[in-house]
Structures are given as C-alpha cells and as structure tokens.
Structure 1
Amino acid sequence: MSDERKTIVITGASDGIGAAAARQLAGNGERVVLVGRSRNKTEAIAREIDAPFHIADYAELEQVRELAADLATTYPRIDVLANNAGGIFGDRKLTKDGFEQTFQVNHLAGFLLTNLLLENLIASNASVIQTSSVAAKRFSKFDIDDLQGEHNYSGRVAYGNAKLANILFTRELDRRVAEDGLSTAAFHPGVVATSFASSSGGLFGFIYTNPLTRRFMTTTEDGGSRLTFLATGTPGQDWISGEYYERDRPMASHRLSRDDQLARQLWERSAELVGLSG
C-alpha cells in the first residue's frame, strides 16, 4: 500500500489553504512534504501530521535554489509539486534579488523551483499545480514590458498580474512538457479567510481583516480541498492538463490567460530574469 502513495510537495504550507490541504492529504495517507517561510509555523504543522518539512523564503531566490537542491536529493520521486506560496503586499518593494516583491514571491520563485526540479518531475510523471486567483481576471492589467510594476504600481494590480502569470505559466509549461508526461493545472481556492493579505493595506487589507467581510469568505478547509482535488485526481480523467479551475471545474479567467504568445514571452522573460535558459 505504501508504494501506491503519492509524494506531494506543498509550498506555502505553514498556514492557510496550504496547511489545510496538507492535513487533508496526510489524512488520506499520502506522503506530504511541507515547505514554508516560518520555521515555527511550518514545524508545528509538520509535527501535527508527522511530515518532513523544509524552510525557504521566496523573497530570496538563493533560498529557492537551495530548496530545489534539497528536494531533488531527498525525494527522487515527486508526484505532485503544489506551488502554493504567495502573498499580497502593499507598497512597491524590491527584494534582495532586485525584483518587485509580489512578482517574485507569487511567480518567479515558483517558476524557478519548478524548472530546477523539472527533470525529477518529468521522470515521475508528476503534476504541477499553481495556486492562482480570480484576482487575475478582476484586477490584472498585465504588461509584459512592465513585469516589475515600475509604472502606475498598485498592490491590487500587482497581485492580479502575478496570479495571471501563474495561469500563463501553467499553460506554457503544459505546451512544453505535456508530451513528456508532466501535467499542469492552476486553480482559484476561493476568497479564503486567511491572514495572508493582512499587511497589504488598501482594499485587500480591509477585506481580509474586517470581521464582517470575513464571515462571507471561504473556509481554509474548503480552499484547501480545491488543491487536494487536483493533487489526488488523475490528469486526463479528473481534470484537464493546462487548464484553470474554480470549484473543481475548468473556468475562463482573464482574456489574456489563453494568449499562447504572451505565455511564451513570459516564460522567456522569467527564465532570463532568474538565469535559466529559455
């Protein structure tokens, strides 16, 4: 029976839907590997579900490279990589790597991790799952020539752009490696009552910290179940590779989300920024 279990790596697993999905998957008997930024929070979840864990701050790409090396060495087979780490931020801020924080934490870091693990993932016939958001459709003003948000920055637009980038990355990854056996999907977990936007200020900060609005949000368990559905499902049978999902169903997102040329351009720009060949 143990040989039938999947090895599922979840980033952003120390809180919110990542932690909820980790609990659900571990409860189903899967091997769950946790990745988080906070050692205390990540270790607490790891103890709770008896799972291994790794620490990496996505605001530093060198930590992502170290994480990839650790994962590749420790887990020769990875059945699912869930790129769930992310966040909403307020004022425009550059990371240590010189990139706009929202873009790096929500897109670039996961893009880098996936590419560094790509050989292992293909060998495992793995699924790569991106936690996106309906914010891609509602707030994105995507400009391939302004990925760093240097012009007319707002935290809300930056987040929408990054979530659209998740969908475009999913689409282009599917185009490039589907024939090699890799499957991909992006999903919206719902407007989940977590603390991940509490420091962003503005509209998002208000929505996620106001007790009244939080009453109408999705629970972390329900949001986590959207990730669990994709992680445990069979591509081609339960879900379609390369697609974007809401409530476990393929849905339309931003009009640019199906722009194949834009998806290729984003891949090439992202690869150049993190020092990978396109």
Structure 2
Amino acid sequence: MGLAAAEQFAARGDDVVLVGRDPGRLAAAAAAVRVAGGGREPVAFRADFERLDDVRTLAGELLAACPRIDVLANNAGGMAEGFRRTVDGFEATMQSNHLAPFLLTSLLRERLSGSRVVNTASRAHHRGRPDPGALAGDPERFNAWQAYGAGKSANILFAAEAARRWPDVFSVSFHPGVVRTNFGADRVTRFFYRFAPFLVTPEKAGALLVWLSTAPEAELVNGGYYVGHRLTGTAAHAADPELAARLWEASAAATRPAAE
C-alpha cells in the first residue's frame, strides 16, 4: 500500500521520500516510483523501526534532505508471530507500529508546522487496547492479534492527541481496508491476505492515503479517524482522551535517549 501511494504521489508530480527496512525491496520501490514520476529520482533512506537509533538517524537524514515536509505518512504496520522484545526493550509490534512512528514524528515536529501527518491504523484496533504502563509487553499473555490491535489503537490515539497538543500540525488516522499484501505473522494469515477474493487492492488503499494527504483541511477533521472517505467512530478505548494523554507521556519517556 505504501508503495502504491508513493507511485501515485510521484505521478502527481510530488517529491517523494521513501523509507524501508530491506535494502533490496527499498531499491525496487525507488525504481518503481522513479518510473511513476517520469524519471524523477526519489530519495530513499533505510531504517529498521525495531531499532530506535535507526529512527533517530533517519530523522536527522530527513531534516538534512528536506527543507520542507508537506506530508508525513506513518504507514508502518506489522505483526510479530511470537513475543519478541526489541533491542530497546519494547514489545516488537508496539515499537514498530507506534513507538517508532511516534519518535520520528516528534523529532520532525518543528519541520511539520503547517503540514499534515497521516497515520495508517486499522479496524483491528477493536482487538487490543494499549497499556501505557506495559510497553515492554508480557510474554506470558502475548497474543499476536491483540498486540497488533493495541498498536493500531495507539496510532488512532496518537493522531487524536497530536491534534490537541500540536494544533499547527493537521493529523488524521485511517483504516485502509483489508488490503491484499504480504501482511501476517504466520502462513495462514499471509495466505489470506494475498488470495482472499474480497480484499482491497494496494492501489485503492494507496489512493485513500493520498486523498487524506491532499484533501483540503476544511473537508477533514483534525484528529479524526477515517474508514474510506468517511469520518468514523472508534472503539471506546481508542476515543479515550485520558488514555491518549497517558500513552503520549509514556511514549515520550520510552523513546527518550538514555543519556537524558
């Protein structure tokens, strides 16, 4: 979905910056975006969101390369098959889906004034509630779908809280549909997401991301959660401002360099 959106941005004439973890896939994505943009070369940076130092390096590279950032698309999404802590000490799904994008957005915050942040969430947020006091996770209670749901709830809570704390940054979250991708933590889930007949194409999901990135602000709600082109209600926990505030403070503390 992210690649499809990047190609659509490039076809519009926008300057595109790509971020990916795997060097080979990142190079292939850059080649596809170059073609979509009529030969214009995209900028590409490698970063692994399971390493917060990678995110800090990425932020520095983006600040050096981009004097202006009109849209930051926090599109990272993934599900760990089993419990795993990252080198930073957090449950891997929560870090890659929420803590890393939270850190990146925070580090780019001044460059985002007057701009837009679009956070890819999911209806799967109904399956899990983030616990701000337990971002390291519990291996004895781990469930892959609950962890993923908690991460996607965190995306929605982050967008809403950003709208309250950073009124000069327009922030939304959205459910892209059940998209035909290589998503999943096991073979059965990956098979479903690749071959089920009713899935949304990456191109259609990417077009929704582009619309949320480019539609006039008057047509959208700052902090809103969208399913398709419609502002939509969330699970009760994902609409809780107290939980959003506690998650923000816990995320800020979790992503602060140890030296501080």
Would the TM-score normalized by the shorter structure come out above 0.5? yes
Show the counterpart of 2:243. Answer: 262
- For residues 73 and 129 of structure 2, the distance between their equivalents in structure 1, rounded to whole angstroms, comes to 26
Show the counterpart of 1:142. Answer: 130
CA offsets 1:217-238 (integer angstroms, 9 cap, x no match): 1111111111111111122x22
- For residues 222 and 5 of structure 2, the distance between their equivalents in structure 1, rounded to whole angstroms, comes to 20
- Residues 102 and 162, structure 1, Cα contact 8 Å, conserved in 2: yes
After superposition, residues 76-155 of structure 1 pair within 5 angstroms as 76-122=67-113, 125-137=114-126, 139-150=127-138, 152-155=141-144
Show the counterpart of 1:38. Answer: 22
- Residues 36 and 54, structure 1, Cα contact 8 Å, conserved in 2: yes
- For residues 97 and 206 of structure 1, the distance between their equivalents in structure 2, rounded to whole angstroms, comes to 30
Alpha-carbon spacing, 1:100–1:211, altered in 2? closer, same or farther (3 Å): closer
Show the counterpart of 1:229. Answer: 211
1:159 aligns with 2:124: no
Superposition TM-score, scaled by structure 1 size: 0.86
Structure 1 residues 188-197 or 212-221, which shifts more?
212-221
Amino acid aligned to 1:256: H
- For residues 184 and 244 of structure 1, the distance between their equivalents in structure 2, rounded to whole angstroms, comes to 10
1:62 aligns with 2:44: no
Show the counterpart of 2:160. Answer: 171
Superposition TM-score, scaled by structure 2 size: 0.92
Alpha-carbon spacing, 1:113–1:191, altered in 2? closer, same or farther (3 Å): same
- Residues 181 and 193, structure 2, Cα contact 8 Å, conserved in 1: no
Secondary structure in 2 aligned to 1:70?
helix
Structure 1 unpaired stretches of 5+: 1-16
Structure 1 residues 61-70 or 29-38, which shifts more?
29-38
Aligned sequence identity (%) = 40
- For residues 134 and 178 of structure 2, the distance between their equivalents in structure 1, rounded to whole angstroms, comes to 27
How much does 1:114 deviate?
A: 0.3
- Residues 208 and 214, structure 1, Cα contact 8 Å, conserved in 2: no
CA RMSD of aligned residues (A): 1.5
Q: Choose the corresponding residue for 1:220, options 202, 223, 244.
A: 202
- For residues 76 and 155 of structure 1, the distance between their equivalents in structure 2, rounded to whole angstroms, comes to 39
Amino acid aligned to 1:115: S
CA offsets 1:32-59 (integer angstroms, 9 cap, x no match): 1111111111112212222111110101
